[in-house]
Structure 1
Amino acid sequence: MAVIVVTDSSSTLPSDVVAQNNIRVVPLHVLHNGNDLREGVDEIPSAVWRSNGVSTAGASPEELREVFDKAVRDSGGDGVVGIFLSRKLSSTWEAAHQAASDIGSAVRVVDSRAAAFSLAFVVQAAAVAANRGATRDEVYDTAVDAANRTSSFVYVNQLDNLRRGGRIGAASALLGTALAIKPVLQLEDGALGIREKTRTATKAINRLIDISVETARQKEHVSIAVQHLEAEDRARDVLARVTARLEGFHATYITDLGAVLGVHLGPGAISVSMFARREF
């Protein structure tokens, strides 16, 4: 058998990648009007992005323990590596750590310090290593190494969602005083903070592109993913403008941000994730 990789639904991994690599995905939760909706399992109405009564929740220790238990059995004794949304953004890592402790040494848990497709890049790297016959510890080390080679930047079209969700950390003062600001955010060491402050959407998108290009030029074999919430045309334009300024890149992706991240970032958000692949 092989080591099995487990992640959460915020990774927004394409279903074919999940199936091909035998990745197990644990749903996160959107709580709306008294309903507990599982991301990737239940139908989640787009109205939740604009609702004042919506929140999100991580996977519980019980949910994760059930998935880990089955994955350990299915691995034939090779073990499990769980790779989850940054612990600074979600309770899921803590729940996974608790569940893994209950099971024992067969499960190791990684704090990706990532989100969205940056998390997907880490999960894919680990799954590729697992499928090549790497041991549980080697898959764990691959995931930790991959996490160090990701970068994430986000344009937020409106700040209301971030203010309600409380995921902005040290930049919270901005949310109380400057709702006209169009920020570019950066995920750094697992926390979301302000990278640039602009006054218009056009300037913010231009800065998002500039920062992404500058970052990509510092990497080799870079893969780029642009994600969006209700802004596919703008996302495609961002990807086209970024890649037009680069001499080479490994792969590109366009996809949506998913329900849980969408609740916190709001309609119109654009995320650029980058990953410097190791060539084997």
Structure 2
Amino acid sequence: MQRKIAQIVDSAGSIPREILKKYHIREVAFHINFGGQQQYREHINISSQEFYLRMKDQPDRIPKTSIPGVAEWTQAFEEKYAEGYRDLIVTTIGKALSSSFQSATMAANAFSKGHPDAKIEVVESNTCACGQAALEIKIAQLIEQGQMVTGELVKRVRELLPGVVSLFSVNELTYMRAGGRIGGAAAFLGKLINIKPVCEFWGGVVRPIKPVRCRKKALQLLVDEAVKRIKQAEEAVICVQHALCEEDADYLVTQLRERLNFNGPIYLSPVGAVIGAHSGPGAIGIGIAEG
């Protein structure tokens, strides 16, 4: 009898809440601190909207994020184990962006020693946000199909990784510069005023695509780039994420449907706090996992 596979993710992908419920995905939350005593846990005691409104109201106070601890990963493993799962696949934000992968791996190694009948595979997504969400939804679909054992599934996921796309634009580079996550977008620093840079996460780092002078052109460029990279929309998971700019997100969804002649699902959710802390309100992106 084939063993059931449980899916566990960190919150950097910010998968839509309804998808978490549909596929019984266990999310392990990042921590958020605005400079005071109180620590927040993403999606648990602070919503995405509350997070971005607070950033907007207090622009001089850049929030800090920290990874889920080993104990939090262990709790997630224990919960799934108690539900009868013995095979667990875990996905995290890319290692170049965070040490969440290392924390999950430490927890998995310790848990496996005490539970020799459990098999835990930890995979770093090599990306984040909308691209990570697209990959994790694709994994959920593959698990639901029930055609692969854990080893086959992990192999398939690793084959998908090089093709995962994470396109994004920010209203300004201020937050990325303050958080030290500017990466390849440093090429835009001399043009901080009145540009809307379009970038992508590639190999876990930011790579610039093109600076444009207005928001509408940035949105259109995001669509153009996404359409170029999607070979067959029916086989792709497409995610749109935004930070307090729902109208722009709806525009992207409409444009993608028209350009791709596609009526299937396009998943919509907020940009998670671990990325939003470095991109700020107004950030928006398109994630794609195909194959």
- TM-score, reference length from structure 2: 0.85
1:130-279 pair list within 5 angstroms: 130-131=143-144, 132=146, 134-172=148-186, 174-175=188-189, 177-180=190-193, 181-217=195-231, 221-248=235-262, 250-276=264-290, 278=291
**Identical positions, percent:** 26
Matches within 5 A, 1:36-47: 36-44=39-47, 45=50, 46-47=53-54
- Residues 1:98 and 2:112 aligned together: no
| Corresponding letter in the other structure for 1:86 | G
State the shift of 1:185 in Å.
0.8
What is the aligned residue count?
275
Tell me what 1:108 maps to. Answer: 121
Match for 1:57: what amino acid? S
Alignment partners' CA distance in 2, 1:115 and 1:224: 14
The match for 2:76 is 67
**Aligned partners of 1:223 and 1:250 also within 8 Å:** no
8 Å Cα contact 1:153/1:273 also seen in 2 = yes
**Residue 130 to residue 220, structure 1, CA distance change in 2 (3 Å):** closer
1:41 is matched by which residue type in structure 2?
I
Deviates more, 1:252-261 or 1:44-53: 44-53
Mapped contact 2:233–2:260 kept (Cα < 8 A): no
CA change 1:11–1:53 in 2 (3 A) is: closer
**1:191/1:231 CA distance change after superposition, 3 Å:** same
Paired residue type of 2:107? A
Structure 1 equivalent of residue 115 of structure 2: none
8 Å CA contact 1:156–1:183 kept in 2: the answer is yes
Residue in structure 2 matching 1:7, options 6, 9, 14:
9
Query: Normalization by structure 1: what TM-score?
Result: 0.88
Structure 1 unaligned regions, length at least 5: none
Compute the displacement of 1:147 (Å): 2.7
Per-residue deviation, residues 54-80 of structure 1 (Å, max 9, x unmatched): 11111122211222233234344x321
Compute the displacement of 1:42 (Å): 0.7
CA gap 1:142/1:103 in 2 versus in 1, 3 angstroms: same
Secondary structure of the 1:251 match is: coil
Spell out, residue by residue over 1:103-137, the C-alpha distance to the aligned partner (whole angstroms, 9 max, x if none): 23721100111222322222223233334163222
Secondary structure of the structure 1 residue equivalent to 2:24: coil
Native 8 Å contact 1:83 1:111 kept in 2: yes
Q: Which has the higher contact order (CA 8 A, sep 6+)?
A: 2
Q: Provide the C-alpha distance between the structure 2 equivalents of 1:26 and 1:90, rounded to a whole number of angstroms.
A: 14
Cα separation, 1, equivalents of 2:90 and 2:131:
15
Structure 1 residue 128 and structure 2 residue 130: aligned?
Answer: no
Structure 1 stretch 211-220 or stretch 256-265: which is displaced more? 211-220
Identify the residue that residue 28 of structure 1 maps to in structure 2: 30
Amino acid at match of 1:23: I
The verdict on how the C-alpha distance between 1:54 and 1:197 changes in structure 2, with shifts beyond 3 A counting, is same
